[in-house]
Structure 1
């Protein structure tokens, strides 16, 4: 049975590589999609890396293995190119967890304000913002802004963490969250600490405050991977989506490091939908094309400002 599965994977990979060449396509994948899908991609990274990379590619077709807000961002930054999604139903619940009336109310009530939108938002929400951020650059971008007051949308956990790191700003929070990270509980973390007392604890800032309080290191997905790959420690407790495990193993190969995730393992159900079979079907049928959102210039402006401020 294992030989049959291996043969299927190899045949699928060969078809994907052939179709990429024939279509002139490049495949981008987020760390949270299944490991088998990541291995078929030309580039794997977090949302900031993929957003920045998308502007530099000369491929006529970009296939985004991730969720809808990521594909929208790539299309906004590359309006003349075809952008495809292997699974168009893959969405991010947090991307919708903010209301325009709340943003409008704060803008009307608070002077010297910048609306900062986590990149994990729809194109519509980005149109309400002054600048976008990712978990890897949020602190830097917020610190660079000239405004004293910041409305951070939609993730209250990341927003609270940013506020603590940039105390010179007054950060107003919105009650959005990532369901997968929000489910990682203190009891799960404590159980891992008891089982592995020498392990370094690394957490994504989308986790709750009580979980972040237990962490030795807080960072974006990419920063967590880098910390493990370059660290001298041998055991690590990782508090983020289990999809990062493949890249951690690749970057740490031969180092004898051990990685532990909470139980049950944190899985993003939307990212999990982006399977190798769906990637192949997408390339075969040129399906899942992403349309340019309404008022694209208003939505792309916060993304471009993010790239400008984060690059300083």
Structure 2
């Protein structure tokens, strides 16, 4: 089977429940876990996974983290291969930061609504309209978009970075308008916002969450700043993925309603096993949780295949990589004190 054929076959696999591609039989259960561990050792590979990944992937990862933490791990690893269990822009950022390493992604169709909705060309047009503006771009974007930015931010460091930017320069913030509005409120900086949003975080229903709070008066609502403003205004705490985890672990409350991608509950339950965690309700009344379809495209079976065949591989034109590296390095420098 050719590389191109296998690449396509992996991407087209169902999210759950398959055993073989052509003549290739894929291990299952504990044999699959062991096979992945054997491949990791054989290929001197590291598995990086985001908190929104399926539980099995979170459990087998060498490093579990948010976007900032994973960027650092990708930059600092001495492994020969990085198996990145997240979405495409995250694996791409790993390649930008560590170009000598082979970076593979279990499924190339693991994308992002934010990244898909913001282009480098679009930012160039905004720069023409606001020539004196600095462009601060959320890390949830592709390499071309990063290359047109002055600095990159994550939800963990965005407030610190926005406050550090010169006050005599206007700021264009892309692509998440909800995070942008939250940062304007936190920093007092007026910003020109790109009209983008995360399909997962926009699915939360303020009305249903308000009812959920009324039915659980002892619960605290915690939310990721990609959520819409009415949800954030209801929240007892707003923070990045890692900040939400830390809050649940350390706060005295015993019950939390969590307004972010439901994959985070797996790690929250590990850190706070005796606390009650409820996924915030979404508009669709047939579902009590919110999942990122893109994040959940990655499976243990696909991870096994991408490590075995070292594909789909993330590659980036060197000129583009170097241009995109500049704003990422600025972010990393300003984020040294953030855990």
Asked if 1:149 is matched to 2:170, the reply is yes
Query: Shift of the alpha carbon at 1:111?
Result: 5.5
Pick one of 33, 42, 60 that aligns with 1:40.
Answer: 60
Equivalents in 1 of 2:276, 2:88: separation in Å?
A: 33
Pick one of 321, 334, 337 that aligns with 1:296.
Answer: 321
How has the CA–CA distance of structure 1 residues 100 and 59 changed in structure 2, closer, same or farther, with 3 Å as cutoff?
closer
Asked if 1:193 is matched to 2:213, the reply is yes
Asked if 1:31 is matched to 2:51, the reply is yes
Counterpart residue number, 2:8? none
- Specify the SS of the correspondent of 1:73: helix
Counterpart residue number, 2:138? 118
Query: Shift of the alpha carbon at 1:281?
Result: 1.2
Unaligned runs of 5+ residues in structure 2 are 1-26, 282-286
Counterpart residue number, 1:4? none
Query: Shift of the alpha carbon at 1:106?
Result: 3.5
Asked if 1:162 is matched to 2:183, the reply is yes
Counterpart residue number, 2:38? 18
Counterpart residue number, 1:261? 279
Which 4+ stretches in 1 moved above 2 angstroms? 98-112
Equivalents in 2 of 1:111, 1:166: separation in Å?
A: 22
Q: Which moved further from structure 2: 105-114 or 158-167?
A: 105-114
- Specify the SS of the correspondent of 1:202: strand
Equivalents in 2 of 1:282, 1:174: separation in Å?
A: 35
Aligned-CA RMSD value? 1.5
| TM-score, with structure 2 as normaliser | 0.86
How has the CA–CA distance of structure 1 residues 99 and 62 changed in structure 2, closer, same or farther, with 3 Å as cutoff?
closer
- Specify the SS of the correspondent of 2:311: coil
Aligned residues: 303
How has the CA–CA distance of structure 1 residues 307 and 187 changed in structure 2, closer, same or farther, with 3 Å as cutoff?
same
Equivalents in 2 of 1:158, 1:67: separation in Å?
A: 19
Unaligned runs of 5+ residues in structure 1 are 1-6
Query: Shift of the alpha carbon at 1:13?
Result: 1.1
Asked if 1:286 is matched to 2:307, the reply is no
Asked if 1:212 is matched to 2:232, the reply is yes
Query: Shift of the alpha carbon at 1:113?
Result: 1.8
Equivalents in 1 of 2:186, 2:77: separation in Å?
A: 34
Counterpart residue number, 2:5? none
Query: Shift of the alpha carbon at 1:195?
Result: 1.9
Contact 1:34/1:275, CA 8 A, preserved across alignment: yes
Query: Shift of the alpha carbon at 1:305?
Result: 0.6
Equivalents in 2 of 1:80, 1:41: separation in Å?
A: 21
- Specify the SS of the correspondent of 2:83: strand
Asked if 1:178 is matched to 2:198, the reply is yes
Contact 1:111/1:149, CA 8 A, preserved across alignment: no
| TM-score, with structure 1 as normaliser | 0.93
How has the CA–CA distance of structure 1 residues 289 and 99 changed in structure 2, closer, same or farther, with 3 Å as cutoff?
closer
Counterpart residue number, 1:3? none
